[in-house]
């Protein structure tokens, strides 16, 4: 095969290969614009000897990340449950350590509890989380991952 034929063949193959991605594009129905989900909210929880406090404890429905810090002297298992979700459990969380629960929450009331393997005379009061109406989508927010 001569050099001239090789170049012509290479040019033809390159042209065909360059046209394949364009041919694979679908029609307008393939690219329906769907709104992005709401921004994931970061909630903070603190376990003390008396109770669990969650801040903010009243937010709109959507994805959340709950970071819980154990400020007691005992390890605790952290449980999030309520409103038709399967209980989400992490731990045991060692003293002065943190744990994370990531969940999509619907409107309703949720309870965050701390349990310990050692029976204690005083029970840690659970934290309450109130989830309201769904938050707006994040389609108009810039610089999101």
pLDDT at 16: 65
85 pLDDT band (50/70/90 cuts)? confident
**Residue 67 in domain:** yes
- Rounded to an integer, the average pLDDT of 59-88 is 90
**Residue 145 in domain:** no
Q: Is the pLDDT of residue 139 over 80?
A: no
The model's pTM is 0.70
- Rounded to an integer, the average pLDDT of 114-129 is 75
Structural domain for 50, as ranges: 41-134
pLDDT at 138: 72
pLDDT at 23: 54
- Per-residue pLDDT reduced to its tens digit, 30-52: 657 777 788 889 999 999 999 99
**Residue 18 in domain:** no
Query: How much of the chain exceeds pLDDT 90, in percent?
Result: 42
Average pLDDT, the chain: 82
**Residue 55 in domain:** yes
**Residue 52 in domain:** yes
CATH of residue 67's domain is 2.60.40.420
Structural domain total, the chain: 1
- Rounded to an integer, the average pLDDT of 13-34 is 63
Of the candidates 49, 41, 57, 65, the residue with the CA atom closest to the CA atom of residue 127: 57
């Amino acid at each position: 095969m001569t050099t001239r034929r090789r170049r012509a063949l290479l040019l033809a193959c390159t042209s065909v290969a360059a046209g394949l991605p364009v041919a694979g594009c679908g029609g307008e129905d393939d690219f329906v614009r769907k709104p992005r989900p709401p921004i994931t909210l970061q909630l903070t929880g603190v376990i003390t000897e008396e109770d669990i406090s969650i801040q903010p404890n009243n937010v709109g429905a959507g994805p959340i990340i709950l970071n819980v810090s154990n400020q007691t002297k005992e390890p605790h298992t952290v449980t999030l449950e309520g409103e038709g979700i399967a209980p989400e459990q992490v731990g045991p969380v060692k003293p002065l350590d943190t744990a994370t629960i990531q969940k999509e929450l619907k409107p309703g009331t949720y309870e965050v509890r701390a349990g310990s393997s050692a029976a204690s005379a005083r029970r840690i009061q659970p934290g309450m989380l109130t989830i309201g109406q769904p938050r707006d989508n994040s389609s108009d927010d810039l610089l999101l991952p």
